[in-house]
Amino acid sequence: MQRRTRLVVITFLAPAVLLYASFIVYPFVSSIRYSLYNYDGVGPLTDFVGFKNFSYILFSHAFAGQFWRAVWHNFYFFILSMALTTVFGLGLAYLLVRVRESISRWFQVIYFVPMVVPPVVVAYLWAMYLEPNDGAIPTILQDLHLYKLNIPFLGSEVWALPTIAVITAWAGMGLPILIFVAALIGVPNEVIEAAKADGASQFRTFVSVIFPIIKPTFLTITTLNFVGAFGAFDYIYIMEGTQAGPNYATDVIGTLFYRTAFGGFGTTAQGVGLATALAVLGFVIVMAVSAILVLLQKRASADLF
């Protein structure tokens, strides 16, 4: 490469690379370094402890229970999000490509709206509706005499996390719908006609013909949902506080990490070394699963051709 061209490339790359390296890559590497120390965040790193923070998180009597409970909650949240995304995201996208395109676009705009509403607003809107004494939803359920369904949604250890998953889905369905619509538009009409000509039912056509074609997209959505579920924080923090109540029933890695790093109500152990070790374990889970999903996605797209 000519010297002049090299200079141009460096000039174009430098701002983005410097910014990204300083505030993403460097902190990421620092996380790994801090996780090997007993460190309270002030002064030099001196007390090297090797993998002690990790073994404390993974095996200790005091902390391991909290960690594995949080991991399970993240995983449970992921499963709930996937179920909701499959039914509503894929379902609505399927309906959207069957109606007139100009009308379909308006629906897509509407479904995307909650994605631009701040989580603070979404959280308080639904907290207000779910308020056990005189919130709209309990009132409606009372009026319909559906007493069995009138549970303390956000205050119940069993139902708090599913309720938050539904609220998250309500707010975040716009993007998966758009991505599924884009994929479904790409399904060639001939294969659907061919299936119909062979006498396949609509459901059968979807399962055996359409789904295999959009499988790579489905796996992309799975990856997005996984990263999203393991990054869950905002709604739980706003609606259930730092202690992720009731009785830690909504505690995820995000909230456990927040308490371990910055303290707050419900904190049992705190420290920079411990918090970063927790974060590193979080990276390992998310990056490993994402890598597998991306590989599966590459294979699924390769299978199509």
Partner 1 sequence: MQAKRPVISYLLLILCALVIVLPLLDLVSLSFKDLPGIVGHPFSLPEKIYWSNYATAWSDGRLGRFLINTAIVSVVSVAVIILFSSMAAYAIARFQFIGNQLIYLGFLAGLALPIQMIAVPLFILMRQLNLLDNLISVILVYSASGMSFSVFLLVNFIRSVPKDIEDSALIDGAGYFHVFYRIILPLIRPSLTTVALLNFVSAWNGLFFPLVLLSNPDHMTVAVGVLSFIGQYATQWNLLLPSLVIVMLPTLFVFIFASRQFIRNMTAGAVKL
Which residues face 37 on adjacent strands?
48
Provide, rounded to whole angstroms, the least separation between the CB of residue 203 and partner 1: 14
Our finding on whether 225 is near partner 1 (CB under 8 A) is no
* 99 DSSP 8-state letter: S
The residue from 1, 62, 197, 302 that contacts partner 1 (CB under 8 A) is: 1
Our finding on whether 282 is near partner 1 (CB under 8 A) is yes
Contacts (CB under 8 A) with partner 1, residues 229-258: 230-231, 233-234, 237-238, 254, 257-258
Our finding on whether 25 is near partner 1 (CB under 8 A) is yes
Pairwise CA distance, residues 76 & 70, whole Å = 10
Contacts (CB under 8 A) with partner 1, residues 120-179: 120-121, 124-126, 128-129, 134-136, 139, 170, 178-179
Contacts (CB under 8 A) with partner 1, residues 197-216: none
Our finding on whether 68 is near partner 1 (CB under 8 A) is no
Q: What is the pattern of x (binds partner 1, CB under 8 A) and - over residues 178-197?
A: xx-xx-xxxx-x--x-----
Contacts (CB under 8 A) with partner 1, residues 72-111: 88, 92, 95-99, 105, 107-111
State the amino acid at position 194 in one-letter form: A
Whether 83 contacts 91, CB under 8 Å: no
Our finding on whether 304 is near partner 1 (CB under 8 A) is no
Crossing angle of helices 101-116 and 160-172, in 10° steps, is: 130
Q: Considering the complex, state which of residue 126 and residue 248 has its C-beta at the smaller distance from partner 1.
A: 126
Residue in 14, 47, 95 with CA at minimum distance from that of residue 273: 47
Our finding on whether 20 is near partner 1 (CB under 8 A) is yes
Q: Which two tokens stand for residue 108?
A: 């897509």
Q: Which two tokens stand for residue 291?
A: 């890598």
State phi, psi for 48 to the nearest 5 degrees. -70, 130
